[in-house]
Chain A
Amino acid sequence: MEDIVLKNLSKDFGTFRAVDDVNLTIKSGELFSFLGPSGCGKTTLLRMIAGFEVPTTGRVYLGNKDLSDLPPYKREVNTIFQNYSLFPHMTVYDNVAFGLRVKKTAKAEIKDLVKEMLNLVKMEDQANKYPNQISGGQKQRIAIARALINKPKVLLLDEPLAALDLKLRQHMLIELMNIHDAVGITFIYVTHDQGEAMSISDRLAVMNQGKIAQEGPPDDIYERPTSIFSAYFIGETNLISGEVKELHEDHLKLSCQDGEGKTFEIDSSFQLAPEAGAHLTLSLRPEKIAISRNKPRSQHDINILKGQIEDILYLGSHTQYIVRVGKLKFRVFSQHKRVYFDDKALDWEEQVWLFWHYTDTWIINDNPFDVLADAELDENGNLKRYIKRSKT
């Protein structure tokens, strides 16, 4: 198996550390994404795998082969560039044939392979056009064909959909997945768009300030974030801090301050048993919370809080409510279903009940390696600053 292995990989630009000691294994045949805000080092990481940047320290392996000192043209890795970088002076056909011609492949063979590739990306009838005569989505396909014709072991995709409009992006995303299934090689995908990364990846790594904040399958990262950064970067969340009051076999009781001198208690499941009295931060996704003006029946496994609606944002597929509990603010997503708790739409300033199952919370800072416990939040509970990196 020819996995991509990154060992202690770092890259400095002057005094700026773009990639900081990354260790990672990307399995052969996997569709792996690097997700992060701009400047997080994901593109630099990709360029080091492609060979356009030389690592300051660390090595890049493809299987047992050390790629680190090879120029780009000696690596069995191809790249889809952000702006496609099609050669403007060549036809679609010549663009796709480029890699084979450079390798001096026989003409007849080139012809067959180019045809096969153009079929794969459904562009067989555009072979004689020039790049400026085809659309963005078509350029994208040609870029893919041009890369795949070289039979790379790994395909690198650098924000490949960034230049396309929304509808086309969704369409191309599915097509990319189909192509990945068809060719079966490793895809490494770089994006700042969480939706893309979540929907396309087998596994993904959330990156921040040159480091990998978390890696894992998309649902794992969404449901079980290990840091406030990954909790916030993917989707939205509510953070609840409190002190462990009681520890039971399958749940713990957390005592929280509402900021106006009142305390309330919530139950939560836990991954690792914390000590009693420990300070914890929980993540609670907004869509996990139910909202109603009618108090729900008390149940032992349901957390219930009373609050007041401060803001309502109608978003089409759902409505986002900002609900105040003391000084805390909860973000709640509620879908518009006929079968619902309330017969009349909720209104501003209304008193409401928030309730959720105790297993829907997730403890973030029981992780001793979490470097994000001291993130700063503003008055709405939004993250003001992502990170203060503490040295472990």
Chain B
Amino acid sequence: MPKSRQALLVKRKNLSSWLLSLPTMLWLLLFFLIPYLIVIIYSFLSPDIYDVKFEFSLDAYRQIFSGDYLRPFLLSFKLAIYTTLLCLILGFPVAYYIARASEKLKNTLLIFIIIPFWTNLIIRIFSWRIFLSYKGVMNDVLLKLGLIHAPLEVMRTDLAVILVMVYVYLPYMILPLYSVLEKLDFTLLNAAMDLGANEVKAFFRITLPLAVEGIFAGTLLVFIPALGAYLIPQLVGNQSSLYIGQVITYKIKNIPRNWPMASALSLTLLFLVALLLLLMYALYRRRLAHRYKS
């Protein structure tokens, strides 16, 4: 008797959790899974001026694999790698400092990190345009200080793209780094120094390996969006060096449209990101596997 009653309770519990997740499931099915299926199908169709012809074709993939789009892919990867590295190098000391600050200062500093999110991204990018432009604030100040003799042409270059990318994505690196560094037992650094490690050795042997989870999380949060960056290159970048996000957009925006090409490029990017994620995950698992075995 009690056994069947228990089984009933378990069953009911399973049912209720299933029911509760149903709306989200439906939502994801309708607006995520089905659109993706459409993208996959489209990538195997033939282009038309405005739409697609329902004729099977592998042209899009053939073009991608023949290397026609290698340059935007490489540019995007380069941008993502630079952005991630710069965010890591710039963000680590900040995260470390906040993690070691007093409780009161900590909260204030964290708010400073979050404040930029209160302003719309596009407004912030336009502010950068004003700041970086030929007759902008940056050039004005540098000229007045006598550091340069002619205005710098930073706006509409790849440098401008990286500057703004780092600016936008830095908080996404700092916050996960902060969350692991905040949990780091700083007496471990004392122990390392006690055992003969100077500050630099203690950092590379203790702090960095113990922050690896934060580095992974931050890298994911910065690298993946940076790879598909569209808005920032479009607004501050140069039209002669197009990133993959821009190329995909143009395939849909410019007439004649090429939906299959755009779909195939998107899927290729998705595939590369997934591959990278799996690789990182495997690395991460191998690193932490034994540590959390027990």
A-side residues, CB < 8 A to B, are 50-52, 71-73, 77-79, 81, 83, 85-89, 91, 98-99, 102-103, 130, 132-133, 146-147, 150
CA A132 to CA B290, docked complex, whole Å: 10
Nearest first, the 3 closest Cβ-Cβ pairs linking A and B are: A85-B191, A99-B195, A133-B294
Contact assessment for A50 and B209 in the assembled complex, using a CB-CB cutoff below 8 Å: no
User: Contacts A130-B291, A132-B294, A133-B294 known; A73 to B198 CB distance under 8 Å?
Assistant: yes
User: Contacts A102-B201, A130-B291, A133-B294 known; A85 to B190 CB distance under 8 Å?
Assistant: yes
Contact assessment for B196 and A81 in the assembled complex, using a CB-CB cutoff below 8 Å: no
Contact assessment for B291 and A89 in the assembled complex, using a CB-CB cutoff below 8 Å: yes
Contact assessment for A87 and B191 in the assembled complex, using a CB-CB cutoff below 8 Å: yes
Chain B residues lying within 8 Å of A77, measured Cβ to Cβ, are 194
Contact assessment for A72 and B194 in the assembled complex, using a CB-CB cutoff below 8 Å: yes
Chain B residues lying within 8 Å of A51, measured Cβ to Cβ, are 193-194
State the Cβ distance, B209 to closest chain A Cβ, in Å: 5
CB 8 Å contact bits of B183-219 with A (1 = contact, 0 = none): 0010110111111111001000110011000000000
Contact assessment for A98 and B187 in the assembled complex, using a CB-CB cutoff below 8 Å: no
Contact assessment for A73 and B185 in the assembled complex, using a CB-CB cutoff below 8 Å: no
Contact assessment for A85 and B185 in the assembled complex, using a CB-CB cutoff below 8 Å: yes
A-B contact pairs, 18 of them (CB 8 A): A51-B193, A51-B194, A72-B194, A73-B196, A73-B197, A85-B187, A85-B188, A87-B192, A88-B188, A88-B291, A98-B205, A102-B205, A103-B196, A132-B291, A132-B292, A132-B294, A147-B194, A150-B195
Contact assessment for A87 and B293 in the assembled complex, using a CB-CB cutoff below 8 Å: no
CA A269 to CA B160, docked complex, whole Å: 90
Chain A residue with Cβ nearest B197: A102
CA A85 to CA B192, docked complex, whole Å: 9
Contact assessment for B187 and A81 in the assembled complex, using a CB-CB cutoff below 8 Å: yes
Which B136-181 residues have a C-beta within 8 angstroms of A? none
Which B249-294 residues have a C-beta within 8 angstroms of A? 290-294
State the Cβ distance, A59 to closest chain B Cβ, in Å: 20
Chain A residues lying within 8 Å of B294, measured Cβ to Cβ, are 130, 132-133
Contact assessment for B193 and A73 in the assembled complex, using a CB-CB cutoff below 8 Å: yes
Chain B residue with Cβ nearest A77: B194
Contact assessment for A133 and B293 in the assembled complex, using a CB-CB cutoff below 8 Å: yes
Chain B residues lying within 8 Å of A73, measured Cβ to Cβ, are 193-198
Chain B residues lying within 8 Å of A91, measured Cβ to Cβ, are 290
Which B197-252 residues have a C-beta within 8 angstroms of A? 197-198, 201, 205-206, 209-210
Contact assessment for A52 and B190 in the assembled complex, using a CB-CB cutoff below 8 Å: yes
Chain B residue with Cβ nearest A82: B187
Contact assessment for A150 and B196 in the assembled complex, using a CB-CB cutoff below 8 Å: yes
Contact assessment for A87 and B291 in the assembled complex, using a CB-CB cutoff below 8 Å: no
Which B98-126 residues have a C-beta within 8 angstroms of A? none
Contact assessment for B191 and A81 in the assembled complex, using a CB-CB cutoff below 8 Å: yes
CA A81 to CA B201, docked complex, whole Å: 20
Chain A residues lying within 8 Å of B185, measured Cβ to Cβ, are 83, 85
CA A78 to CA B210, docked complex, whole Å: 23
Chain B residues lying within 8 Å of A133, measured Cβ to Cβ, are 293-294
Contact assessment for A50 and B194 in the assembled complex, using a CB-CB cutoff below 8 Å: yes
Task: Give chain B's interface residue range (CB within 8 Å of chain A).
Answer: 20 to 34
CA A51 to CA B199, docked complex, whole Å: 13
Chain B residues lying within 8 Å of A98, measured Cβ to Cβ, are 192, 195, 197, 205
Chain B residues lying within 8 Å of A130, measured Cβ to Cβ, are 290-291, 293-294
Known contacts A103-B196, A133-B293; 18 further A-B pairs (Cβ under 8 A) = A50-B194, A51-B194, A73-B193, A73-B194, A77-B194, A79-B191, A83-B187, A85-B187, A88-B188, A88-B291, A89-B209, A89-B291, A91-B290, A98-B192, A102-B196, A102-B201, A132-B294, A150-B195
State the Cβ distance, A45 to closest chain B Cβ, in Å: 16
Chain B residue with Cβ nearest A47: B190
CA A160 to CA B222, docked complex, whole Å: 43
Count chain A CB atoms within 10 A of each CB in B193, B195, B290, B291 and give the residue with the most.
B195
Chain B residues lying within 8 Å of A78, measured Cβ to Cβ, are 194-195
User: Contacts A102-B201, A132-B291, A133-B294 known; A88 to B210 CB distance under 8 Å?
Assistant: yes
CA A314 to CA B265, docked complex, whole Å: 84
Chain B residues lying within 8 Å of A85, measured Cβ to Cβ, are 185, 187-188, 190-191
Chain A residues lying within 8 Å of B187, measured Cβ to Cβ, are 81, 83, 85
CA A120 to CA B76, docked complex, whole Å: 57
Chain B residue with Cβ nearest A156: B194
State the Cβ distance, A303 to closest chain B Cβ, in Å: 52
State the Cβ distance, A156 to closest chain B Cβ, in Å: 9
Chain B residue with Cβ nearest A96: B195
B190 touches which of A81, A88, A99, A147 (Cβ 8 Å): A81
Chain B residues lying within 8 Å of A50, measured Cβ to Cβ, are 194
Count chain B CB atoms within 10 A of each CB in A77, A85, A130 and give the residue with the most.
A85
Chain B residues lying within 8 Å of A71, measured Cβ to Cβ, are 193, 198
Contact assessment for B196 and A99 in the assembled complex, using a CB-CB cutoff below 8 Å: yes
State the Cβ distance, A9 to closest chain B Cβ, in Å: 19
Contact assessment for A87 and B188 in the assembled complex, using a CB-CB cutoff below 8 Å: yes
B195 touches which of A83, A89, A146 (Cβ 8 Å): A146
CA A50 to CA B191, docked complex, whole Å: 10
Contact assessment for B198 and A87 in the assembled complex, using a CB-CB cutoff below 8 Å: no
CA A304 to CA B198, docked complex, whole Å: 66
CA A52 to CA B209, docked complex, whole Å: 23
CA A79 to CA B291, docked complex, whole Å: 25
CA A313 to CA B194, docked complex, whole Å: 47
Count chain B CB atoms within 10 A of each CB in A89, A133, A147 and give the residue with the most.
A89
Chain B residues lying within 8 Å of A89, measured Cβ to Cβ, are 209-210, 291
State the Cβ distance, B244 to closest chain A Cβ, in Å: 37
Chain A residue with Cβ nearest B193: A72
CA A5 to CA B280, docked complex, whole Å: 53
Chain A residues lying within 8 Å of B290, measured Cβ to Cβ, are 91, 130
State the Cβ distance, B285 to closest chain A Cβ, in Å: 14
CA A173 to CA B294, docked complex, whole Å: 28
CA A50 to CA B293, docked complex, whole Å: 34
Chain A residue with Cβ nearest B187: A85
State the Cβ distance, A71 to closest chain B Cβ, in Å: 7
CA A199 to CA B63, docked complex, whole Å: 82
Count chain B CB atoms within 10 A of each CB in A78, A102, A150 and give the residue with the most.
A102
CA A79 to CA B196, docked complex, whole Å: 11
Contact assessment for B195 and A147 in the assembled complex, using a CB-CB cutoff below 8 Å: yes
Chain B residues lying within 8 Å of A132, measured Cβ to Cβ, are 291-292, 294
